[in-house]
Amino acid sequence: MVEIKELPDEPPAPPKDAVEKRKPQPTVVQTTGEKIKVFRRPYAHHLFNNKADEFCSECLKEPELQGKLFQCTGCNFVKYCSKECQKMGWRLHKMECKRLQKSFPNLPLSDVLFLSKVLDRKELIEKNGDKYGYEMARPLSSLIGHENDVRKDKERMEKFKKIFQKIQTFRDEALNGDIFFDIYCKSMVNSLTVQSMKGIEVGILLDLGVSQYNHSCRPNCSIMFDGYYVFLRPLTSDINTEDPKTATISYTDVGRSRYQRRRELQEKWFFECHCERCEDPEDDILTALRCKNILCDGAVLISEDMEPKAVKCKKCNTVADIEYVIRGQQTMLELPVRYSTEDKVDELKGHLERARPILHEKNVYLNRLETAIVQLSGKLGDNIASLYSKVQQTFSACFPATEKNKVNELVEKCAELIRKGQRKEAVPFAFDAMCILEAQAGLAHPNYLRVLALWTFLDKQPEKTNKELLELTQLEDGGDIKPIDITQFLNDTPVEASK
């Protein structure tokens, strides 16, 4: 056992080459008129243990400019991207550091370390008051924890008992079981999984402000993470992100079937969703089967959990018998719910061979499987643009319509700033237009591709002329929009034109 003396009020001295940087600022840009709400004060957050060598334990970001992380010289586990992040994290890590040294070489689970930080924050607020506004939105005690539901769940209670034992060992103190159970339920039910800009799950976060917003499978706001900053972005301009009664978010992945969404919501948040989308029969297109008539491209609308029965094709009325429906249900439920970089491409291709003959091209299970194979292998055999077009059609059911006029206004503002030589100022307007087009039109739409290229060039600042950039602000209109080739805009050498 390591003997630990009282730790100082200041964190251990970082290496001399540790980076100096200002207080972490969000890298997600926002326009002046955009009604984005930013949550900057999580009650507690924790970087997953298996990400400790890649991300900063305080800001939950990768080091800037391919910089390196440096270790806390006290515990030799927690890593920071800068001296400033180390100082900011010391309020909670001061107590954690001592415990980590005592527990060495046994590292507690991520859930244990996260909940320990919740307890430390609670104790600090009770002792010193809420000086930094962690409970500005509402107190921790006001959260709904579904304690009775947890007690009825044998598996959850077994997990709680294990964590309760482990956290007492880690903190080297006896905790009141009832009090900790209340905190445990409130924290785990209301926490969020933090994703990096690349979509990698990096940590867990409890923000009392974000926890006020209700769920919808067809939300009117989207959530983005920039480290531990949480951005609430309206999908239409009439949404007031300051009002949790009208602004909605999705607690789960909206790009999944009703059955899978409800299953996850029930498992973690203890409710069966009956939002507008869940009550919409058209949502069954996401779990549709191919028509048994090989000459028909129509859909047989079923769901994974429906009572098997014969179903007619929506287009030609060909009947899919019970056996065909059961086979389709089994095919969907046998496919992975989530995919990761650890998946083996050959195994996924085996799934694809079994799924394609029966699942409709708009089936979300098929779309997710095809997308995973493309991302892991870089190829599918099909035209990539065709795949993205199918995926876009499928996912368009998941989002409300956004406003085309808003996109035009943002792009016109970009063009105006480019002409004035103010390219840096144009970046956030291009970014907002890109986000709206992604939800509105999809990844294969020519306007999305144009604005994606525009934002990339403005942000990365390659040698591009005004003429090249302004060409990207010329959006297509009308229903018969043909795909475009943007490779002409992706060359590093600028065309001959005056800047």
The 10s digit of each residue's pLDDT in 462-484 is 999 999 999 999 987 644 434 44
Its pTM stands at: 0.75
The least confident of 7-16, 99-108, 218-227, 304-313 is: 7-16
Asked if 397 and 276 count as a contact pair (C-beta separation under 8 A), the reply is: no
* Percent of all residues in the chain with a pLDDT value above 70, rounded to a whole number: 81
Phi-psi region of 442 (alpha: psi -120 to 50; beta: other; left: phi over 0): left
Burial of 137 from C-beta contacts in 10 A (0-12 / 13-18 / 19+) = middle
pLDDT at position 339, please?
Answer: 84
Does residue 24 carry a pLDDT above 90? no
Q: Name residue 448's amino acid.
A: Y
Higher pLDDT, 375 or 382: 375
Neighbour tally for 37: CB within 10 Å: 19
Asked if 319 and 311 count as a contact pair (C-beta separation under 8 A), the reply is: yes
In this prediction, residue 493 has a pLDDT band, given cuts at 50, 70 and 90, of very low
Asked if 80 and 109 count as a contact pair (C-beta separation under 8 A), the reply is: no
Cis bond leading into 42, ω under 30°?
no
Based on DSSP, count helices (H) and strands (E) in the chain, helices before strands.
14, 14
* Percent of all residues in the chain with a pLDDT value above 90, rounded to a whole number: 62
Instruction: Note the Cα 86 to chain centre separation in Å.
Output: 26
Higher pLDDT, 400 or 410: 410
Mind listing the pLDDT tens digit for each residue in 229-246? Answer: 998 988 776 789 999 999
Q: In this structure, what token pair is assigned to residue 151?
A: 């007690």
Mind listing the pLDDT tens digit for each residue in 168-191? Answer: 999 999 999 999 999 999 999 999
pLDDT at position 199, please?
Answer: 73
Q: In this structure, what token pair is assigned to residue 304?
A: 């994974």
Which DSSP helix (H) or strand (E) runs through 163?
helix 154-171
Identify the top-confidence range among 313-322, 337-346, 365-374, 448-457: 313-322
SS3 15: coil
Dihedral angle at the C-alpha atoms of 69, 71, 77, 82, nearest 10 degrees? Answer: -60
Stretch 244-270: mean pLDDT = 93
Question: Rg (Cα) of the chain, in Å, rounded?
Answer: 25
Q: Residue for token digits 């409130």?
A: 186
Which residues contact residue 412 at a Cβ distance below 8 angstroms, ignoring those fewer than 6 apart? 473
Asked if 438 and 448 count as a contact pair (C-beta separation under 8 A), the reply is: yes
Q: Give the C-alpha separation, 67 to 152, whole Å.
A: 48
Q: In this structure, what token pair is assigned to residue 66?
A: 């391919």
Does residue 128 carry a pLDDT above 60? yes
Reported residue count of the chain is 499
Mark 205-217 as b/e (b = at least 16 C-beta within 10 Å): bbbbbbbbbebbb
Asked if 91 and 124 count as a contact pair (C-beta separation under 8 A), the reply is: yes
Higher pLDDT, 451 or 29: 451
Which residues contact residue 396 at a Cβ distance below 8 angstroms, ignoring those fewer than 6 apart? 442
Which residues contact residue 70 at a Cβ distance below 8 angstroms, ignoring those fewer than 6 apart? 14, 15, 17, 18, 79, 80
Mean pLDDT of the chain: 85
In this prediction, residue 372 has a pLDDT band, given cuts at 50, 70 and 90, of confident
pLDDT at position 224, please?
Answer: 83
pLDDT at position 245, please?
Answer: 94
Higher pLDDT, 322 or 9: 322
Listed residue (460, 28, 434) closest to 229, CA to CA: 28
Q: Give the C-alpha separation, 418 to 426, whole Å.
A: 7
Listed residue (31, 394, 75) closest to 233, CA to CA: 31
Which residues contact residue 17 at a Cβ distance below 8 angstroms, ignoring those fewer than 6 apart? 70
pLDDT at position 222, please?
Answer: 84
Concatenating the DSSP letter of every residue in 31-81 gives -TT---EEE---SEEEE-GGGTTTS-TTT--PPGGG---EE-TTTS--EES
Q: In this structure, what token pair is assigned to residue 388?
A: 């993205």
- Please report, for residues 175, 269, 356, the alpha-carbon distance to residue 352 in angstroms, rounded to integers and kept in the order given: 50, 32, 6
